[in-house]
Chains A and B, each alone.
Chain A
Amino acid sequence: MNTSKRRLVLASFVSLGLILTACGDDEGASEATDAPTTEAAGESTTTAAGEESTTTAAGGEIAGGEVFVTGSSTVEPISVLVGELADELSGGSLAVTVEGPGTGDGFKKFCAGEADISDASRKIKDEEAASCAEAGVEFVEIEVAIDGLTVATSPNNAAVTCLDIPALYSLVGPESEGFAKWSDAQALATEVGTTSAAFPDADLTVTGPGPESGTYDTFVEFAIKGLAEERGKEDTARSDYTQSPNDNLIVEGIEGSDSSLGWVGYAFFAAEADRMKAIEIDAGDGCVAPTEETIADGSYPFSRSLYIYVSTTALAENPAVGSFVDIYLSADGLAKVSEAGYVDLPADRIAASTAAWDAAKA
């Protein structure tokens, strides 16, 4: 009798504890929803002027509801910032959830109808578009920003300042497997017609994103594809380099060896410019360093567009998707591009994006 009573007390103690933690957390959650709005209120004094124009430029009322954005982790920060702007402008009724598993994974979910919008750091591939079509998901492609792919080395690497495309092909391309030193690639580089300075006799440690990443695809397209096709090789990077989906680990890899080579998105380079040295790229018109100006005017050869793909199938059912994209393409929305560390589109390309979106809405 006594023991069973004690056990009962014990059991209620445990369940009480569980309830308490659950309640305590609920409080936390409701506070959490308050906190950003108060902080946002402080912020909106600076954007208050633009706020009205946003709503009018967007074509009036903001429809409430839920929007789910998946796709590129490169574009994710822009979508998160615009999501926060949407939360602010709609007073919380436009609930935007954003994740960034990668461009390829994003299109898989998007074409399965799981997401309303897919962020992308490259254009959709034909087979991805085909799977969308098969599942009956129609979409519109909207260019939102420009990113410069930065090829970088350690700041201590004085020997390398500029590389041309044959040089990059012979250092990272499919024929470079097994090259442990920069100088190992010299013969191949000369064969494919490099005009870059001679490679140093130093260890070659390559760090970059893996094939699941849009940044990898872009690098292959810019630096490897042309020569690989010419020489009848596969258009991939060498497989024996350190791959990571985590950009900070790539930065660490580039910083970690005095004669490293790697590539990251421009936003990551700009945030960590003291830990890396950007290598100038020569695509036939002389060496160009990646800066906001050279990326925006297109003179830096490794610049790529960042896109959002909006499901018009989802748009037809969910007006919140339309409101979110309206906010994305408003002046305040596009201002988030530079806030996230990317380069703004020139005015004519913004106009083209807006026109594409208007046509899709109509």
Chain B
Amino acid sequence: MAVTASIRESSAAVVRASLTGGKRDVKGMLFAAALLLCLLTAMFTLTILLWDVVAQAIPVFQKRSTGFLTNDLASSPDKAGVSQGIWGSLVIAGFVVLLAFPVGIAAGVYLEEYAKPGRLTSFIQLNIRNLAGVPSVVYGILGLVVFVQGLERFTGGRSVISAGITLAILVMPIIIITTAESVRAVPSGLREAGYGVGGTRWETTRHHVLPYAAPGILTGTMLAVARALGEAAPLLLIGAITGRLASPEGQTVVERLQGKFTAMPIIIYGWSNEVNKPGKITGLTFEDLTSAAIVVLLVIVLVLNAAAILLRNRFEKRRQS
């Protein structure tokens, strides 16, 4: 790609020089400079923000080491840790993977490949787009009414199951839209080739369309998981815990899933509201711990994204070979 682009540009330069008599392209250079400035501004803000958080978080990891990752919520910044938040957030990510991925991808493929184009289909598509823009608090209220109160016998009320299902529904429109977009971007020649050798719609979709669309779909799912991990507002409504979360002895996994829970964004929210009295042993404050919790959440999102990027690269390589 890069080679062809440079060939194009150099040939364009030759033609242009013969047309303008070798005048410099001032407007073009200004435009390029403006673009670069915008990029630098964005990068600068992001770097400052990250640096601010990481610099404050480093002492926490130095003084508390792994204790910060393995301890439960506690009153003192000497003891408090994020293990319960990591557990809650990973379970929520699990619900997104198990519920939102299959349903969202299937719905997206159906809308593009199977549904007859018409008023109803475009009406549904419009609504899904609108759903993606609905504020997350609204989904929180849905979760509160349907999963916390309505299906309490199954979810256990204000539990991580309710939170996981709510966030899975929250990100489903994103997955449907990105899936539909990437399926639409598949060249129609590929489909025609499939049908041309007598393939059924399922075979064509399965062996031609989906592998080609996979990188785009994966990007969408990646965004969806990151969004679900970062949401705090719906979790507040569902009732994630901020102060102290006790784990009774002999709790089974099902009981833990149906019990009270917390998650990383809630821990960040809760700690930012604590009195900033330095701990007696480490001298750390909850403000420092808040930064460290932000770093942990960022790392979780980055690791999950990295996994998705690895997968996407595999799909792309296979497509090229």
Contacts and interface: CB of A to CB of B under 8 A. Distances in A.
Interface of A: 3, 6, 10, 14, 17-18, 21-22, 25, 28-29, 31-33, 35-36, 39, 64-66, 68-69, 73, 76-77, 79-81, 83-84, 87, 92-93, 95-101, 114, 245-248, 267-268, 271-272, 340-341
A268 B260 CA distance: 28
Contacts of B133: none
B72 to A, nearest CB: 5
A268 B94 CA distance: 38
* Most interface-central of B241, B277, B318 (chain A CB within 10 A): B277
A73 B270 CA distance: 10
Interface stretch (B1-9, B25-33, B188-196, B243-251): B243-251
B275 A25 contact: no
B244 A268 contact: no
A98 B244 contact: yes
B244 A29 contact: no
A77 B75 contact: yes
Given A29-B84, A83-B246, A246-B272, A68 B70 contact: no
B74 interface: yes
B33 to A, nearest CB: 36
* Most interface-central of A39, A99, A247 (chain B CB within 10 A): A99
Interface in B66-93: 67, 69-72, 74-75, 79, 81, 83-84, 86-87, 90
A260 B268 CA distance: 27
Interface of B: 67, 69-72, 74-75, 79, 81, 83-84, 86-87, 90, 94, 97, 157-158, 236, 239, 241-249, 260, 270, 272-277, 287, 307, 311, 314, 318
A97 B244 contact: yes
A151 to B, nearest CB: 18
A51 B267 CA distance: 31
B275 A31 contact: no
A268 B84 contact: no
**In terms of DSSP, what is the predominant structure of the interface of chain B?**
loop
A341 B275 contact: yes
29 contacts: A10-B314, A18-B97, A22-B90, A25-B83, A25-B86, A29-B83, A29-B84, A29-B87, A32-B71, A32-B72, A32-B83, A36-B71, A64-B249, A76-B242, A77-B274, A83-B246, A84-B74, A93-B248, A95-B247, A95-B249, A97-B246, A100-B243, A100-B270, A101-B236, A248-B273, A268-B275, A271-B277, A340-B75, A341-B275
Nearest to B303: A21
A97 B260 contact: yes
B88 to A, nearest CB: 10
Contacts of B287: 248
Given A36-B72, A81-B75, A95 B275 contact: no
A35 B272 contact: no
Contacts of B90: 21-22, 25
A248 B311 contact: no
Contacts of B84: 29, 32
A272 B260 contact: no
Shortest 5 CB-CB contacts between residues of A and residues of B: A95-B246, A98-B243, A95-B248, A32-B83, A98-B244
Contacts of B242: 73, 76, 99-101
A202 to B, nearest CB: 27
Contacts of A76: 242-243
Contacts of A83: 243-244, 246
Given A10-B314, A248-B273, A87 B81 contact: no
